[in-house]
Amino acid sequence: MKELNILITGGAGFIGSNAAEYFLKKGNNVKIIDNLSRRGSSDNLSILRKEYPKIKFVKADIRKDTKILEKEAKSSDCIIHLAAQTAVTDSIKDPRCDFESNALGTFNVLEAARKSGKNPKVLFSSTNKVYGQIKDIPTKEISKKYFYKGISSIGEDRILDFHSPYGCSKGCADQYVRDYNRIYGLPTTVFRQSCIYGPRQFGIEDQGWVAWFAIASMLGKKITIYGDGKQVRDVLFVNDLVRAYELALSSRKTSGEIYNIGGGEKNTLSLFELIEILEKIISKKISCDFGPWRAGDQKVYISRITKAERDFAWKPSVAPEEGVGIMCKWISKNLPAIKKSLEAKK
């Protein structure tokens, strides 16, 4: 890629800060917009500013600061839109906040891009939750983990069936992003992302389960498994995701397209399997409680990632055991800051 002016909304968050670092290392100009409301975002911003003094930061809220968005879009070649409310549980508690963050916030970003006169590329971070519970596909149990019966993974042609306020708000945004390409010619791309994990993830119980299990284990906190622990997700290390952002932004084929992005069939984990990996890393038994299944939860979700491989030659390179190990090293190094963050949000 040539040197670009890249705007990242939610750029102080887990994925955003990793993306900012990646594109800065590549010699691009990076500006991040964030309201710093997320756990750990201020810590991530401080680290970025220390390591990359040329990074630009604008404190703003995509739900209401439309003039700021419009100003920053005018100087951007591409926008990576990551700012969002990210938990199904929080969407159920406060659906209005969820809607305003995900649907209205995305609309505001798209309008800023449309009005900019720059026709910037817009890459939107959507979610596998737009497919709902996928109850019509039967599952089977193999070695204490669930798999689909009859198919191996979920493709982009799967019918949308949101099943939660979070699914609705992200699905609404997902469709807006697609139709701003079809109606206004804006070069947009949707990534329906599966479970992303890695360094800089200040995970909590209902947001970022891979990181939360690791953090809780290292802090000696009891882990609650909602369901039976056999549920499966395809997991994707954050560096692989950010590399997919770069490749998609570099390709003409991705304009107006939607991609399922995750670890795929070769990178799946059940909750029990993650526990086993963590026990090896920390060299002790991990205590777990069990709770009821959560509303809208999927027994299995595995992304079919062949479209991304075909269109922009991407596939994951980091296996779960390796990625979890890298994440745990970061957590261990930053445990005091993580502990402080957890206590501050009580």
Nearest to 252 by CA among 121, 116, 124: 121
Give the Cα separation of 296 and 290 in Å (integer). Answer: 17
Choose the catalytic residue: 146, 148, 166, 226: 166
Look up 166 and say whether it is catalytic: yes
For residue 173 the two structure tokens come to 């945004």
232 contacts 270 by C-beta, under 8 angstroms? yes
Angle at 22 between CA 20 and CA 24, to 5 degrees: 65
Give the Cα separation of 221 and 343 in Å (integer). Answer: 13
Nearest to 243 by CA among 301, 171, 309: 309
For residue 218 the two structure tokens come to 């290292």
Q: Please give the positions annotated as active site.
A: 166
